[in-house]
């Protein structure tokens, strides 16, 4: 098979949409439970690259009770994501109180690696101030949205290579330390 065809097949396979398992837990020590599926489509524009299905979780019955107890205790709601079949999870947590104050709208930032795999999650709607720890209303539901985290360069350090040997004719002019200067 020609090399160009291998490259085409590899590029097509890498760019295909894939599904991720999404689990959640009501508390720092609570057991995770299945929540949804997150579809990642590396070829789509950033605003359409990530999609939860279902994108909401009604807070009724046991979910409502667990969330209300969590908010009263100033506990954290946790979520984690991994590619189907993968072993490593990316996770994030938010104070239940902050999630309630945002009308139960999860706003997640998802970091993707060069292959498009999920490597980190962060809530973008966390707050520092206090909030009301009331119980969810009858029609309350966690609604989830996600967008890719923007690439950020933390620090750029220019590299200057040492000259392996001086230009022709300058060998006897350079100091014995090889020309290093403070």
Per-residue pLDDT tens digits for 19-73: 999 999 999 899 999 999 999 887 777 767 888 888 888 888 888 899 889 988 8
Greater confidence (118 vs 173) lies with 118
Q: Does residue 54 have a cis peptide bond before it, meaning omega lies within 30 degrees of 0?
A: yes
Distance CA 126, CA 129 (A): 9
pLDDT at 41: 86
pLDDT at 12: 42
Q: Which two tokens stand for residue 44?
A: 């789509």
Give the pairing of strands 118-123 and 105-112.
antiparallel
Asked if the model's pLDDT at residue 88 lies above 60, the reply is yes
102 pLDDT band (50/70/90 cuts)?
confident
16: Cα within 13 Å, side-chain hemisphere: 9
pLDDT at 53: 87
Asked if the model's pLDDT at residue 150 lies above 70, the reply is no
pLDDT at 110: 87
Estimate to the nearest angstrom the gap between the alpha carbon of 7 and the chain centroid. 28
Whether the Cβ atoms of residue 107 and residue 125 lie closer than 8 Å to each other: yes
Q: Which two tokens stand for residue 38?
A: 């997150």
- Integer CA distances (angstroms), 117 to 15, 21, 30, 68, 92, in order: 11, 12, 26, 33, 16
Asked if the model's pLDDT at residue 97 lies above 90, the reply is no
Per mean pLDDT, which range of 78-82, 94-98, 99-103, 147-151 is the poorest? 147-151
Helix (H) or strand (E) holding 70: helix 62-72
83 pLDDT band (50/70/90 cuts)?
confident
Q: Which two tokens stand for residue 94?
A: 């938010």
Greater confidence (149 vs 27) lies with 27
144: Cα within 13 Å, side-chain hemisphere: 27
Residue bearing tokens 């085409």: 8
pLDDT at 6: 38
Asked if the model's pLDDT at residue 145 lies above 80, the reply is no
């Amino acid at each position: 098979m020609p090399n160009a065809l291998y490259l085409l097949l590899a590029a097509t396979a890498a760019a295909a949409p894939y599904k991720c398992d999404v689990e959640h837990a009501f508390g720092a020590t609570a057991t995770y439970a299945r929540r949804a599926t997150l579809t990642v489509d590396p070829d789509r524009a950033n605003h359409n690259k990530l999609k939860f299905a279902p994108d909401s979780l009604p807070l009724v019955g046991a979910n409502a009770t667990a969330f209300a107890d969590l908010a009263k205790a100033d506990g954290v709601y946790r979520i984690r994501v991994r590619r189907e079949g993968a072993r490593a999870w990316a996770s994030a947590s938010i104070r239940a109180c902050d999630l309630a104050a945002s009308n139960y709208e999860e706003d997640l930032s998802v970091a993707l690696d060069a292959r498009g795999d999920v490597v980190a999650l962060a809530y973008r709607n966390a707050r520092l101030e206090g909030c009301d720890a009331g119980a969810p209303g009858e029609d309350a539901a966690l609604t989830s949205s996600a967008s890719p985290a923007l690439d950020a360069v933390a620090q750029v350090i220019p590299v200057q290579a040492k000259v392996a040997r001086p230009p022709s004719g300058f060998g006897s002019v350079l100091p014995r330390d090889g020309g290093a200067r403070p």
